[in-house]
Amino acid sequence: MSEDKTIYRPSQEIVEAAHVPDYDALREEAAQDPPGFWAARAEELLDWYEPWERVLDDSDAPFFKWFTGGKTNVVLNALDRHQRTATRNKLALVWEGEDGTLKTYSYFALNREVCEFANVLRSMGVKKGDRVTIYMPRIPELLMAMLATAKIGAVHSVVYGGFSVEALGERIEDSESKVLITADGGYLRGKIVPLKEIADEALQRCGTVEHVVVIRRTGEPVHMEQDRDYYYDELMALPVARSAGDGSETEVMDAEDPLFLLYTSGTTGKPKAILHTHGGYQVGTATTLKYAFDLKPEDRWWCAADPGWITGHSYIVYGPLILGATSIMYEGAPTYPYPDRWWRIVERYGVTILYTAPTAIRGLMRFGDSWVKKRNTSTLRLLGSVGEPINPEAWRWYHEVVGKGECPIIDTWWQTETGAFMITPVPSFPLKPGSGTKPFPGVQAEVLDDEGNPVPPGEEGKLVITTPWPSMLRGIYKDPDRYIEQYWSTYEGKYLTGDSAKVDEDGYFWIIGRVDDVIKVSGYRLGTAEIESGLVSHEAVAEAAAIAIPDEIKGNVIHAHVILKAGSEGSPELVSELKAHVGHEVGPIAKPTHIEFVDALPKTRSGKIMRRLLKARAMGLPEGDTSTLEG
Ligand code: WTA
């Protein structure tokens, strides 16, 4: 990656309009008393049923608690309070289907539908604390399902629609969900993704689900299991949905009660469920969105992620709704039917802020400037990036062609675990392409060497967060030991991010990439273990090792090494079959681009696969230190 030393300064107009005119001063002020900073934001931006007694309880670290004694529900702030102000008449959501369907919801309409959906879920026996799995295309009902679940105090677990049978089944089983909310299908690149069919197969492998709610998106006939599966529109027409009208009660929750589980890939083994709670998570998402993107009432905010990932949870669903913003949501692929689809959306709905991933930018950049230029994108005032480091070429194209050289690029570094932005600029701050600039106020980050000492400027080390923050994960569901081991055992009292980074002379942070067995493919977070278990579940495979190889558009692609069982022969047909198998079991996003048949895998004497060596070999690089290689 070539480095760009240019410093991009915002225009006077942007500085004057900025919510945070002097970022360094605010950061310094917050650093004096981070809990005090967050408490002030919790008062400024949110309503509470009852105020908290303690801002931060660190008596059982690293099991930190925030705003203890406070009573809230994310729905109180995302929907209920807006019904009492002019925001009730404002657009909450403008949705465009890939097929061109347009749907809009005011805060009033969104609330009504969420209330009715909540009534339906209650009538099915879903109670406070119960888990509900949501497996849906990018349609408004996905938001409603999340909000309805939260409203009644249940815990949602959204599984991204690009995951498949085994991934879905595993997540349903681990969360012990009673209810699954899904759809007959969704549209992607003009084709139907058969979500219900995948869900049916997943349900055969796990046994906790009692009811399935099916949203009709495509209208295609699907199998409906008697006394288990119900169509959403039919349920919503029942008197039970309307029983309480739009006055359906929002459950009063403790600040520390669970809001959702979101499965994500870690260092080893199966994906783990990251737990977030009602109180601190709201404070983190609302504060970061307001400050980093200067969100104003006249904005039209478009976070182009999927609600199935943390970016969508925090910045499609909760953050924007809490702030009473108008969001744009689009169901399908950026290039369908032509590569100007996104720019048409910007033009058609007057988008002012676009937040997306470098992989999408690179993917669109490849079609050239003309697709952007023929659309009116002049409403854009800020651009955002997330998910992986953005290379300077993509940064400049985004800045110059999409943003006409006038829109600051807000490069936000954060994780499923952090719940909200951790390292990010604000619009008034000078930018360096490829750097997320500095930690957000109230966040303390360092880059350390293996001994735990801060590395000198410009040197690579491990990125850690040194003080707790309100939207931090509250643990891994059902696995407190793994929480401690994965995040808190490398450096005493410091949160290990799993990323390597550098800090330059000006204190700007530069993220380099993951240092564990997590792979970022097109910005999607996958574990090598997930891909490998997808491969070894095929009858011909004895052992597998997956690694990431750099790719110009996707950031990384998956390269899998496979040892076949005796009696199986490697062939191009088998390569295709294995790719299809991983697609069916784990999901299309986990399909390896390359599969190489090998007789052995390099391992350490303790039996660990040496992925570093596999990567060096695959890329034709020097093998480095091989002294731990088994003899
Ligand atoms: C990477 C996504 C560089 C990083 C919100 C992190 C980034 C992982 C950036 C978390 C960024 C995220 N620059 N790298 N702006 N944002 N990452 O949990 O490796 O899906 O650890 O959360 O994405 O991925 P996750």
Annotate 479-548 with three-state secondary structure: CHHHHHHHHHCCCCCCEEEEEEEEECCCCCEEEEEECCCEEEECCEEEEHHHHHHHHHCCCCEEEEEEEE
Query: Which of 388, 411, 447 maximizes ligand 1 atoms within 8 Å of its Cβ, making it the mutation to test the pocket?
Result: 388
CA distance 372 to 162: 27
Q: For 270-293, what is the mean pLDDT?
A: 97
1 pLDDT higher than 60: no
**pLDDT tens across 381-434, in order?**
999 999 999 999 999 999 999 999 999 999 999 999 999 999 999 999 999 999
pLDDT at 282: 98
Do 525 and 265 meet the contact criterion of CB atoms below 8 Å apart? Answer: yes
pLDDT at 392: 94
Structure tokens, 226: 């008697």
Q: For 238-243, what is the mean pLDDT?
A: 84
| Percent share of the chain, pLDDT over 90 | 92
pLDDT band at 607 (very low <50, low <70, confident <90, very high): confident
Of 608 and 178, more confident = 178
pLDDT band at 103 (very low <50, low <70, confident <90, very high): very high
pLDDT at 625: 79
pLDDT at 631: 61
**pLDDT tens across 152-175, in order?**
999 999 999 999 999 999 999 999
115 lines ligand 1 (CB under 6 A): no
Q: Average pLDDT, whole number, for the chain?
A: 95
Residue nearest to ligand 1 atom 5, measured at CA: 415
Of 266 and 188, more confident = 188
Query: Which of 525, 554, 589 maximizes ligand 1 atoms within 8 Å of its Cβ, making it the mutation to test the pocket?
Result: 525
**Ligand 1 atom with least separation from CA of 390:** 13
Distances (CA, A) of 420 to 130, 301, 317, 413: 25, 17, 13, 9
**pLDDT tens across 111-138, in order?**
999 999 999 999 999 999 999 999 999 9
Structure tokens, 481: 């030991």
pLDDT at 2: 52
391 lines ligand 1 (CB under 6 A): no
Secondary structure (3-state) at 409: strand
Q: What angle do CA 104, 110, 248 make, to 5 degrees?
A: 165
CA distance 544 to 578: 11
Secondary structure (3-state) at 401: helix
**Ligand 1 atom with least separation from CA of 423:** 15
272 lines ligand 1 (CB under 6 A): no
Residue nearest to ligand 1 atom 14, measured at CA: 388
Of 153 and 609, more confident = 153
| Cα-to-centroid distance, 334 and ligand 1 (Å) | 21
107 pLDDT higher than 90: yes
555 lines ligand 1 (CB under 6 A): no
140 lines ligand 1 (CB under 6 A): no
Q: Is 296 exposed, middle or buried (0-12, 13-18, 19+ CB in 10 A)?
A: middle
**pLDDT tens across 83-97, in order?**
999 999 999 999 999
204 pLDDT higher than 90: yes
pLDDT at 624: 82
Secondary structure (3-state) at 306: coil
Query: Which of 315, 414, 435, 472 maximizes ligand 1 atoms within 8 Å of its Cβ, making it the mutation to test the pocket?
Result: 414
| Cα-to-centroid distance, 497 and ligand 1 (Å) | 10
274 lines ligand 1 (CB under 6 A): no
| Percent share of the chain, pLDDT over 70 | 98
Cα dihedral 31, 36, 39, 44 in deg (nearest 10): -80
For the chain, the farthest-separated pair of C-alpha atoms sits apart, in whole angstroms, at 72
The alpha helices in 152-248, defined as continuous H runs, are 165-175, 195-204, 232-236, 239-242
514 lines ligand 1 (CB under 6 A): yes
DSSP tag of 250:
P
Q: For 341-356, what is the mean pLDDT?
A: 98
**Ligand 1 atom with least separation from CA of 412:** 15
Query: Which of 272, 311, 398, 413 maximizes ligand 1 atoms within 8 Å of its Cβ, making it the mutation to test the pocket?
Result: 413
Cα dihedral 457, 459, 461, 466 in deg (nearest 10): 0
203 pLDDT higher than 70: yes
Q: Is 245 exposed, middle or buried (0-12, 13-18, 19+ CB in 10 A)?
A: exposed
pLDDT at 270: 84
pLDDT at 3: 63
The owner of tokens 């049916």 is 200
Q: Is 233 exposed, middle or buried (0-12, 13-18, 19+ CB in 10 A)?
A: exposed
CA distance 615 to 547: 7
E strand or H helix at 549: strand 541-551
CA distance 346 to 435: 26
DSSP tag of 106:
E
**pLDDT tens across 244-253, in order?**
555 689 999 9
pLDDT at 241: 87
Closest CA to 143 of 202, 75, 84, 77: 75
Query: Which pTM was predicted?
Result: 0.96
**pLDDT tens across 425-472, in order?**
999 999 999 999 999 999 999 999 999 999 999 999 999 999 999 999
Residue nearest to ligand 1 atom 11, measured at CA: 413
pLDDT band at 242 (very low <50, low <70, confident <90, very high): confident
| Cα-to-centroid distance, 105 and ligand 1 (Å) | 31
Q: For 271-277, what is the mean pLDDT?
A: 96
519 lines ligand 1 (CB under 6 A): no
